[in-house]
Chains A and B, each alone.
Chain A
Amino acid sequence: MAFENLTDKLTKVFKNLRSKGRLTEEDVKIALKEVKLALLEADVNYKVVKNFIKSVEERAVGSEVLEGLNPGQAVVKIVNEELTNVLGSETVELKFEPGQATTVIMLCGLNGAGKTTTAAKLAGQFIKKGKKPLLVALDVYRPAAIKQLQVNGEKQGVDVFSMGDNVSPVEIAKQSLEYAAKNNENVVIFDTAGRLQIDEELMQELINIKKNVTVHKTLLVVDAMIGQDSVNVAKDFNEKVGIDGLILSKMDGDTRGGAALSIKAVTGVPILYVGMGEKLSDLEQFYPDRMANRILGMGDVLTLIDKVMAESEEIDKDKEKDMRDRLKKGKFDFNDYLESMNQMKKMGGLSSMLGLMPNMGISKDDLEGAVDEKQLKQMEAIVLSMTKKERSNPKILNPQRKHRIAKGAGVDIAVVNRFIKQFEQTQKLMKQMPGLMGGKRKGPFGGFGGGFKMPF
């Protein structure tokens, strides 16, 4: 069965639906069913998919559908954003120790993942960055593994340190550092034997290497074609040995590479490189957005979405320039929220304020829950548990962050989610009330005296 593009599927599902104002729960449910299948087909771990879908659903229900998109495409847009959110929104570079200090990098992973080839590829990249790498052969088990590294090292013009297969990897690692120091080599790359993450003895070997020599970066090499087991592998390597970065190998195949998402979701470790071929030059930087498209098996729909977005920005520019400017100045984020809370306390609470704002199109529902003072306290705790960055940029609030915030505020994650949703609705509400926006940063409700801002 050939994989049917997610876009095609969604287009079919929503063929008869015209674009409309907001995503209904029904739209989202239908679309997400297809998204779930697409992610599973791409080998994203089942449990990761479940959580992911939940967070998308929360975000999508009730959100706006841009003119020109159908509801399916609107959901895909959100899915794609969330995917990029999990995968990391930008490229992460491997950091070396400062100056001429030696950086020790250890590669580890399952059997056949591609460590030895990757080691040689990395060495090549480091040379380009002006480093002097040393490759160290720590795979003393697989026949001819040392020879393989030596041959690759020679091809790359890189020194290879080995002590045969009768010396323990810990010992070889120790001595390699002395060797590197003598030879002015400032990046040392350990090529370790492939191992199963449940092989206690071999996992202990990696732990021992780290105990005995300073390893600055432990990188997990994962075959991009790996299936559901990716989560077990990554979790165990991370919990037992500790990993600082990921390299996805064999991405030049036609795998959708859902493992990237699974592993990133369970470990939070950045993906640094992708292997794109057997040649020693075939190692590339990781681009989260490309990966997101690949996992979803699409590309065209995103272009369309981009176009529609650009167009709608144009419209905004023309028609609503005024309002947008003011909105920008009075940009409502969690910092403003906190400020409003304080203001409100001074002014006798929200309930009393409500009486001052007749006919503003605010339904009671919009403000429901807000009147409860106890709840207000809870919400204050939530905002106080956010980092500065999160307060000024609520968009970055991903599930991990929300969990941390919930913990910090001592409330259930559901409370945090509800609150953030309400907050987003308020942001929209603000947009609908351009007339209320004052010019000053401090007071969008300038007309109501004293720089008071709506807490919701």
Chain B
Amino acid sequence: MEKEKSGFFAKLKNGLNKTRINLLDGLDSVFHGFSEIDDDFYEELEEVLVMADIGVSTTGEIIDEIKTLVKVEHIKKPEDCRDYLINLLSDRLNIEGDQYAFEHEKSIIFVIGVNGVGKTTSIGKLAYNFKQDKKKVLIAAADTFRAAATEQLETWAERVGVPMIGAKEGTDPASVIYDALQSARARDVDILLCDTAGRLHNKKNLMEELKKMNRIIDREFPGINRENLLVLDASTGQNALNQAKEFKEACDITGIILTKMDGTAKGGIAIAIWNELKIPVKYIGVGEGIEDLQKFDSKSFVSAIFED
């Protein structure tokens, strides 16, 4: 009997996802595993926050705020900190005003980011969402660098059933943007989605190329709703801050698409980015499928850092 039991539990434990166990352990030990709010408790908190990729400096600030709260509100029990913490973080991420007004107007969405983060896939998903809302959508395939990038986007355009403007590998991406803008005008589309090649933010010439495309859009459609969305992979560490800074420098970023949130990474870097640059997350990617793009909900995002 005894043996069977341990065998059963062993199986159960093996079957369960390892990280899930870790996270549950983490949650238990932080908010329930401590009987009082002491240095050990704060250290555990630090561990959870840093492990979510929030980064040491933002983590430090958050913990300082919690310490103040604990004093002011006379919080005695660690588990009472949890809700305060979640509110403290999600309130910050929750920005004023309608972040999605552009969806209902004529807009140009320019999608940028480093290599492999999920730009093309996110464009496919966005196009699908807008199509569902009965919008007239056009896609520009301005990644003329990576092998088969245009074919990849073409597949998405076909899946969704929207037109795409592209050119062959090696074409100047700015000219693809220009063509797409003319086509958008001629077709009178509601939303133009522009895919761009992945580029590392420390490559000067590639960032210049991005600026050029951005300028052409401004020139051809002055005053139109512009959304410059930076795509970030949720598993990215502290380097995402550099990415956000550099891309922001090149063109005014209006929001972030945080992809691959269906994985085990927490995407906590978005909190650090908000903290330092005040760029809001607008969408999250939760899978490879066409419907796997959601609007960002700060509360569930923050809770997920402490739960799973």
In this assembly, does A191 line the interface, its C-beta being within 8 Å of a C-beta of chain B?
no
- Structural contact, B239 and A232, CB atoms closer than 8 A: no
Main secondary structure of the interface of A (DSSP, over half): loop
CB < 8 Å neighbour of A142 from B17, B146, B152: B152
Across the two chains, which residue of chain B brings its CB closest to A147? B148
Answer yes or no: A448 CB below 8 A from chain B CBs.
Answer: no
Q: A113-B116, A255-B237 are in contact. Are A228 and B53 (CB under 8 A)?
A: yes
Are A225 and B236 in contact, with the CB atoms below 8 A?
A: yes
The size class of the interface chain B forms with chain A is: 35 or more
Question: What sequence of 0s and 1s flags, for each residue 137-165 of chain A, a beta carbon within 8 Å of any chain B beta carbon?
Answer: 00001111101101110010000000000
Q: Which of B18, B56, B236, B239 contacts A37 (CB 8 A)?
A: B56
CB distance from A17 to the nearest CB of B (A): 24
CA distance A252 to B204 in the complex (A): 13
Contact of B288 among A42, A111, A151 (CB under 8 A): A111
CA distance A254 to B269 in the complex (A): 16
Q: Which of B146, B169, B266 has the most CB of A within 10 A?
A: B146
Q: Contacts of B55 on A, CB cut-off 8 Å?
A: 40-41
> Please, how many angstroms separate the alpha-carbon atoms of A43 and B53 in the complex?
8
Assess whether A41 is in contact with B238, with CB atoms less than 8 Å apart.
yes
Decide: A229 near B18, CB < 8 A? Known: A40-B50, A152-B147: no
A432 to chain B, nearest CB (A): 40
B114 at the binding interface (Cβ < 8 Å): yes
A196 vs chain B, min Cβ distance (A):
5
Q: Are B19 and A232 in contact (CB-based, < 8 A)?
A: yes
User: Are A143 and B152 within 8 A (Cβ)?
Assistant: yes
A114 at the interface (CB under 8 A from B): yes
Residues of B within 8 A of A113 (CB): 116
A148-B53 in contact given A110-B235, A227-B237 (Cβ < 8 Å):
no
| B173 on interface, CB distance cutoff 8 Å | no
How many residues of A are in contact with the other chain, CB < 8 A?
Answer: 48
Q: Is A181 at the interface (CB under 8 A from chain B)? A: no
Considering only residues 348-377 of chain A, those with a C-beta below 8 Å from chain B are: none
Task: Provide the main secondary structure of the chain B interface.
Answer: loop
The complex places the Cα of A1 from the Cα of B264 at a distance, in Å, of: 27
Residues of chain A with a CB closer than 8 A to B47's CB: 46
Contact partners of B235 in chain A: CB under 8 A:
110, 223, 226-227, 229-230, 233
Check B148 against A253 for contact (C-beta < 8 Å).
no
| Interface assignment of B263: CB less than 8 Å from any CB of chain A | yes
By the criterion CB–CB under 8 Å, are B200 and A253 in contact? Answer: yes
Instruction: Give CA–CA (A246, B258) in the complex, Å.
Output: 26
Chain B residues near A254 (CB-CB < 8 A): 200-202, 239, 242
Give the contacting residue for B265; candidates A37, A150, A227; CB below 8 A. Answer: A227
- Indicate if the CB atoms of B238 and A198 lie closer than 8 Å: no
Using an 8 Å CB-CB cutoff, how does the interface string of B119-148 with A read, 1 for contact, 0 for none?
Answer: 000000000000000000000000001111
B156 near A252: Cβ-Cβ < 8 Å = no
Report how far A124 CA is from B269 CA in the complex, Å.
Answer: 36
Interface residue B262 (Cβ < 8 Å from any Cβ of A): yes
B240, CB-defined interface residue at 8 Å: yes
**Smallest Cβ-Cβ distance to B116: which chain A residue:** A112
B195 contacts A by Cβ under 8 Å: no
CA distance A400 to B157 in the complex (A): 51
**How many whole Å from B62's CB to the nearest CB in chain A?**
15
Q: Which A residues touch B240, using CB under 8 A?
A: 225, 227
Q: Complex formed: what's the CA distance from A413 to B275 in Å?
A: 42
A144 to B157 alpha-carbon distance, docked (Å): 13
Contact B115 A227 (CB under 8 A): no
Judge if A250 is at the interface, Cβ distance under 8 Å: yes
- Chain A proximity mask over B199-210: 1 for CB below 8 Å, otherwise 0: 011110000000
Docked Cα-Cα span, A204 to B227, in Å, equals: 40
The residue on B at minimum CB distance from A43 is B237
- Count chain B CB atoms within 10 A of each CB in A142, A227, A254 and give the residue with the most: A227
> Which A208-232 residues have a C-beta within 8 angstroms of B?
223, 225-230, 232
Within A37-65, which residues are at the interface with B (CB < 8 Å)? 37, 40-43, 45-47
The reply on B52 being an interface residue by CB < 8 A is yes
Contact A41 B56 (CB under 8 A): yes
- Whether A227 and B288, one on each chain, are in contact in the complex, defined by CB atoms closer than 8 angstroms, is no
Residue of B nearest to A155 (CB): B147
B146 and A111: CB pair below 8 A?
no
Interface check B87, CB cutoff 8 A? no
Within 8 A of B (CB), among A296-317: none
Q: Which of A10-46 contact B (CB under 8 A)?
A: 37, 40-43, 45-46
Interface 1/0 per residue, A186-209 and B, CB below 8 Å: 000000000011100000000000
- Cβ of B169: which chain A residues have Cβ within 8 Å of it? 151
Whether the pair B237, A148 counts as a contact (CB closer than 8 A) is no
A371 to chain B, nearest CB (A): 38
A198 touches B19 (CB 8 A): yes
The listed residue with most B CB atoms (<10 A of its CB), out of A225, A230, A254, A256, is A225
Taking A46-B51, A223-B235 as known contacts, 6 extra A-B pairs with beta carbons closer than 8 A to each other, sorted by chain A number, are A47-B51, A110-B263, A150-B148, A151-B148, A155-B147, A227-B237
- CB-CB nearest 10 A-B residue pairs: A227-B237, A112-B116, A43-B237, A143-B155, A151-B147, A144-B152, A148-B148, A147-B148, A144-B151, A229-B265
8 pairs, A vs B, C-beta closer than 8 Å: A1-B276, A148-B149, A196-B262, A196-B264, A226-B237, A235-B18, A252-B200, A255-B242
On B, residues with C-beta under 8 Å from A are: 17-19, 47, 50-53, 55-57, 114-118, 145-149, 151-152, 154-156, 169, 200-203, 233, 235-240, 242, 260, 262-266, 269, 276, 288
